[in-house]
Amino acid sequence: MKVDFGTLLPAMLQASLTSLAIFFLTLIIALPLGLVIAAGRLSKHKVIRWPVQVYLLIMRGTPLMLQLFFFFFGPFYIFGIKGVSRLAMCILAFGLNYTAYFAEIYRGGMESIPVGQHEAAAALGFTREQTFFKIILPQVVKRIVPPMGNEFMTLVKDTALARVIAVVELFDVAAKAASGYVSTVPFIVAAVFYLVMNAIVGQAFLFTERKLDYYR
């Protein structure tokens, strides 16, 4: 069957908005929460550090697909709650999953800063909060840009996993169209969509790296 681009492209454009919604809402959850989790991971208090380590192990050690199933079906099978929003549970699962990865990136950036900078800031009379936000955090941001770029691009592709709980996103529309038309063309079109989105993400991070490359 010949592919009807007049029908396919509008449907894929509409579905790509859902993919973008998952992408941006995941970042709204994961970027700030990841910083909090990273601070907990670096805490000297075991009562804080150990639960955070368990959380990181679970989120990073189990498949995102499995987590999507758990967050969608869990409320019903565990608490008897019916009618949960597929998209809301999808975003919650994505947000908590990516929080764990962002937290480890933040932690790596923080631990890469020499201890002497903390000591110098203390000698100059800076409080711990001033040291973190005015001295440490700006350097951490510069150092974590490349790994963050990788995670952002991975997130764009991972939005396709939302299909497993029947969220109608870009890949879901492409798969259904490919089945209906008995053609791989919808998959090729979807690949172009993902490439364009990741090209934009890549250019944004390249621009950010250049702006932060103040040593040149």
> What CATH number does the domain containing 127 carry?
1.10.3720.10
pLDDT over threshold 60, residue 215: no
What is the per-residue pLDDT for 178?
Answer: 93
Residue 68 — pLDDT band, cuts 50, 70, 90? Answer: very high
The CA-CA-CA angle for residues 75, 79, 84, to 5°, reads 30
How far is residue 71's CA from residue 54's CA, in Å, rounded to a whole number? 18
pLDDT digits (tens, 9 = 90+) for 116-128: 887 888 888 888 8
If you average pLDDT over residues 1-18, what whole number do you get?
90
Report the domain count for the chain.
1
Q: What region, left, alpha or beta, does residue 210 occupy, with left being phi > 0 and alpha being psi -120 to 50 degrees?
A: alpha
148 located within any domain? yes
144 located within any domain? yes
This prediction has a pTM of 0.92
Residue 214 — pLDDT band, cuts 50, 70, 90? Answer: low
Residue 82 — pLDDT band, cuts 50, 70, 90? Answer: confident
8 located within any domain? no
Percent of the chain, pLDDT > 70? 98
Q: Could you tell me which residue, 77 or 91, shows the higher pLDDT?
A: 91
| Residue ranges making up the domain that contains 89 | 21-169
- Burial degree of 19 (CB within 10 A; 0-12, 13-18, 19+): buried
pLDDT over threshold 70, residue 216: no
211 located within any domain? no
pLDDT over threshold 90, residue 48: yes
Q: Could you tell me which residue, 144 or 114, shows the higher pLDDT?
A: 144
- Burial degree of 169 (CB within 10 A; 0-12, 13-18, 19+): buried
Please give the torsion angle defined by the CA atoms of residues 44, 50, 53 and 54, in that order, rounded to the nearest 10 degrees: -170
182 located within any domain? no
